Amino acid sequence: MHRFDLATSRHTQALDITHLFSGRAWPDGLLLVTVEHTTAALFLGESGSEMFADYERVAAGLIEDYGPWQHEVWNPGNAQSHVLSSFIGGQLLLPVTDGRLDLGTWQRVIFLELDGPRQRHLAVTSVATRPL
Amino acid sequence: MHRFDLATSRHTQALDITHLFSGRAWPDGLLLVTVEHTTAALFLGESGSEMFADYERVAAGLIEDYGPWQHEVWNPGNAQSHVLSSFIGGQLLLPVTDGRLDLGTWQRVIFLELDGPRQRHLAVTSVATRPL
Amino acid sequence: MHRFDLATSRHTQALDITHLFSGRAWPDGLLLVTVEHTTAALFLGESGSEMFADYERVAAGLIEDYGPWQHEVWNPGNAQSHVLSSFIGGQLLLPVTDGRLDLGTWQRVIFLELDGPRQRHLAVTSVATRPL
């Protein structure tokens, strides 16, 4: 298992983390990437500052009116972050060919911080495949 | 393949099912857990009665105004349960180390009933990994 | 790796693609299916024209009021398609027994077009499993 560390700088922040995977050759097959937290999400999506503004605006607004929140142990807005990240999900299986990520033309690996700024960790596991 | 059986007691109910995995030693690597239904979801999230109230309130309200529902074969609210559970998702890949689930500090396996009370089934499959 | 090609005919369209998997015997274990695009999603759900109308109406409405959209490179509504497909997700792990998909009673593989009509591609990979 490999672990990536990641620092976010804003409360709600989309980050293209595809470059994290470029530093080494991975075993061909699949990489499972899992967010090890409960207030951040992970998905495949298009990259770019305008796209990120759209992800972030929807993430901030989609469930904001569903309070009053019961789970407000840490800080205001934290419960909303838990619910939204759980519903979006935090796992991806990424194809690897010739040691590199083999994604669709517009697909990038996007990390969605929902309760930042924080230090974050991602677990990476190699999954065995079979010929098809 | 292993199967867990689960009984829910309310229409919309978040349940921490992490304890289901404590009864035996699993092969190291990954466990795929899949909900075998179309009106319940599964995610990694924080546990606790206040947190569950928040999951349930958002789940009950997020798409409730998008009717009139066409698929009302079984009972009122069932179509909404189908759509929401499909969009949230019902699969997780759980890391196993030394025979036990190896989750992040706050991560628990949460089952989200959206059309209960019902008897539910989860399929568990061991996925082969490779060293990284 | 195997690839399915798919043509959609409407902007927002749910399609039951379970039949795509019936043409051959697959290795027992798991099939990973991944949408290779950023404006379409994939999930397990119930099939049927009334169910599809419900999926499509929620998909069209859930985030439509969160503009103004910054990412409007291609066409109106495209940014909304990116955000929603990313949040829903585009990967499934499908169990295979005796060469055929082994889903729950009501589970079908549903492709959700969010920016059609388009030609779409799905990547299928066989994932190795271990006895449990």
pLDDT tens for A7-59 read: 999 999 999 999 999 989 999 999 999 999 999 999 999 999 999 999 999 99
CA R_g for chain C: 16
**Contact state of A128 with C128 under an 8 Å Cβ cutoff:** yes
From residue C59, alpha-carbon distances to B30, B56, C76, C92 in Å are 32, 21, 15, 19
**Contact call for residues C14 and C47 (beta carbons, < 8 A):** no
C88 contacts in chain B (CB < 8 Å): 87, 89
Q: How far away is chain A from the Cα of B85, in angstroms, using its nearest Cα?
A: 9
Q: CA of B3, closest CA in chain C: separation in Å?
A: 10
Give the Cα separation of B46 and A70 in Å (integer).
Answer: 13
Q: Scanning every residue of chain A, which has its alpha carbon at the shortest distance from the alpha carbon of C70?
A: A50
Contact: B85, C48; criterion CB under 8 Å = no
Look at B101 and C23; give whichever has higher pLDDT: B101
Does any CB of chain A come closer than 8 Å to the CB of residue B130? yes
Ranking A44-58, B85-99, C74-88, C107-121 by mean pLDDT, the lowest is: C74-88
Q: Say if residue B77's pLDDT is above 90.
A: no
Contacts of A130 in chain C (CB under 8 A): 27, 29, 126-128
B27: cis peptide before it, omega within 30°?
Answer: no
Which residue bears the tokens 């890391």?
Answer: B95
Is residue B79 predicted with pLDDT exceeding 90?
Answer: yes
Q: At what angle do helices C78-88 and A49-61 cross, to 10 degrees?
A: 60
CA distance C34 to C76: 26
User: Residues B81-94: what's their mean pLDDT?
Assistant: 98
Residue B121 at interface with chain C, using a CB cutoff of 8 Å = yes
For residue B6, give Cα distances in angstroms to B16, B52, B111: 11, 17, 10
Q: Is A60 on the interface with C (CB under 8 A)?
A: no
Residues 94-113 of B with CB under 8 A from C: none
Q: How far is C83 from chain A (nearest CA, A)?
A: 6
Residues of C in contact with B28 (CB under 8 A): none
Distance CA B96, CA A41 (A): 21
List, for residues C30-59, the tens digit of each pLDDT value. Answer: 999 999 999 999 999 999 999 999 999 999
Closest-CA distance, C128 to chain B, in angstroms, reads 6
Q: What is the value of pTM for the model shown?
A: 0.97
**From the list A29, A62, A91, which residue is nearest B93 (CB)?**
A91
Nearest CA among B115, B121, B118 for reference residue B12 = B115
Q: Is the pLDDT of residue C5 over 80?
A: yes
| A119 CB within 8 Å of a chain B CB | no
Neighbours of A97 (CB within 10 A): 11
Q: Transcribe chain A into DSSP letters.
A: -EEEEEE--SSSEEEE-GGGGGGSPPPSEEEEEEE-SSSEEEEEE--SHHHHHHHHHHHHHTTGGG---S--SSSTTHHHHHHHHHHH--EEEEEEETTEE---TT-EEEEEESS-S-EEEEEEEEE-EE--
Instruction: Please list every residue in chain B whose beta carbon sits closer than 8 Å to the beta carbon of residue C129.
Output: 125-128
Q: Using pLDDT thresholds of 50, 70 and 90, give the confidence band for residue C75.
A: low
- What is the ipTM for the molecules in this complex? 0.96
Query: How is residue A59 written in tokens?
Result: 């993430």
CA angle in degrees (0–180, nearest 5) for C86-A74-A37? 40
C51 at A interface, C-beta within 8 A = no
Q: Does C92 touch chain B (CB under 8 A)?
A: yes
Q: Indicate which of C12, C30, C54, C109 best probes the interface with B, i.e. most B CBs within 10 Å of its own CB.
A: C54
Tell me if A30 and C123 make a contact (CB, 8 A cut-off): no
Q: Could you tell me if B92 lies within 8 Å of chain A, comparing CB atoms? A: yes
> Which amino acid would we find at residue B13?
Q
